[in-house]
């Protein structure tokens, strides 16, 4: 089943709104908008097509943005939806930036609710598990995919001692207190094994950063966290819930939570 293209305009508005809510300023580059994070502890954003269109994007437009990102010492990254801006990929690749495709998935409104996982709970700003919960995805995304990995509890402890982990905890705690995110985690015997968040903007919410400690994979944790986030987003009034999957194997997990393919999310970056 493919979700109707009617969902894509709502996602475009979301993509333009959520960086502004997250502390970023918008810089105009004609057909492109560059979002620059002004909160030193906040997430770094990207450039993307200007909302409402701004004409065809050329390699020269992409190069101008890349030069500005280098000047600002921010990630040289672009994100967009292939079906909404089909010509952008060629311009980005012509400018020398590799592009990666990811399944873009929207929750089917008719999907059955996944039963709650007994070890999943929502965490608040003052929860003692929050530092671990914001750290687990770092280890998960360092070893992408669904296969069992080596990183476990010991590696989690070492990563939590990194100053960057505490900075992320502080930033997410502020967003939790402000109601601009929600975070769900699997906690077993005092250890966070999986976590993720959703970010709302209007009546749209994106499920982001769902990651399982590599050594704890293949136990249904990601599905349980996603289901909890979906339930929380719906209860908060979200009419559209969506996410980008890492690959097709990960996308199959999300279909079990009621998500269906809506398009292709394209991410381009210079590492």
What is the chain's pLDDT, residue by residue, as a tens digit (271 residues)? 445 557 899 999 999 999 999 899 999 999 999 999 998 888 899 999 999 877 899 999 999 999 999 999 999 999 999 999 999 999 999 999 999 999 999 999 888 888 889 999 999 999 999 999 999 999 999 999 889 999 999 999 999 999 999 999 999 999 999 999 999 999 999 999 999 999 999 999 999 999 999 999 999 999 999 999 999 999 999 999 999 999 999 999 999 999 999 999 999 999 8
pTM of structure: 0.93
| Structure-token pair, residue 150 | 């080596």
Cβ neighbours, 10 Å, residue 235? 9
Give the per-residue pLDDT at 1: 43
Give the per-residue pLDDT at 5: 55
Give the per-residue pLDDT at 84: 94
């Amino acid at each position: 089943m493919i979700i109707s293209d009617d969902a894509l305009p709502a996602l475009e508005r979301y993509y333009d709104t959520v960086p502004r809510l997250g502390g970023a300023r918008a810089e105009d580059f004609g057909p492109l908008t560059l979002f620059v994070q002004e909160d030193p502890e906040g997430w770094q954003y990207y450039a993307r097509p200007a909302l409402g269109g701004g004409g065809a994007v050329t390699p020269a437009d992409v190069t101008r943005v890349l030069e500005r990102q280098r000047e600002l010492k921010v990630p040289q990254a672009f994100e967009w939806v292939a079906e909404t801006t089909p010509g952008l990929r060629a311009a980005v690749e012509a400018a020398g930036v590799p592009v990666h495709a990811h399944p873009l998935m929207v929750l089917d409104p008719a999907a059955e609710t996944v039963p709650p996982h007994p070890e999943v709970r929502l965490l608040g700003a003052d929860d003692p598990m929050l530092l671990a919960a914001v750290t687990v995805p770092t280890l998960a995304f360092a070893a992408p995919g669904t296969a069992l990995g080596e990183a476990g509890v010991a590696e989690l402890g070492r990563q939590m001692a990194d100053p960057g982990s505490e900075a992320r905890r502080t930033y997410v705690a502020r967003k939790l207190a402000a109601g601009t995110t929600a975070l769900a985690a699997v906690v077993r015997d005092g250890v966070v094994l999986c976590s993720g968040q959703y970010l709302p903007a209007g009546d749209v919410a994106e499920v982001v950063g769902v990651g399982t400690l590599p050594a704890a994979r293949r136990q249904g944790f990601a599905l349980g966290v996603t289901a909890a986030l979906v339930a929380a987003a719906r209860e908060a009034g979200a009419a559209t819930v969506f996410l980008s999957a890492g690959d097709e194997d990960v996308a199959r997990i999300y279909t079990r939570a009621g998500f269906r393919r809506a398009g292709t999310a394209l991410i381009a970056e210079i590492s």
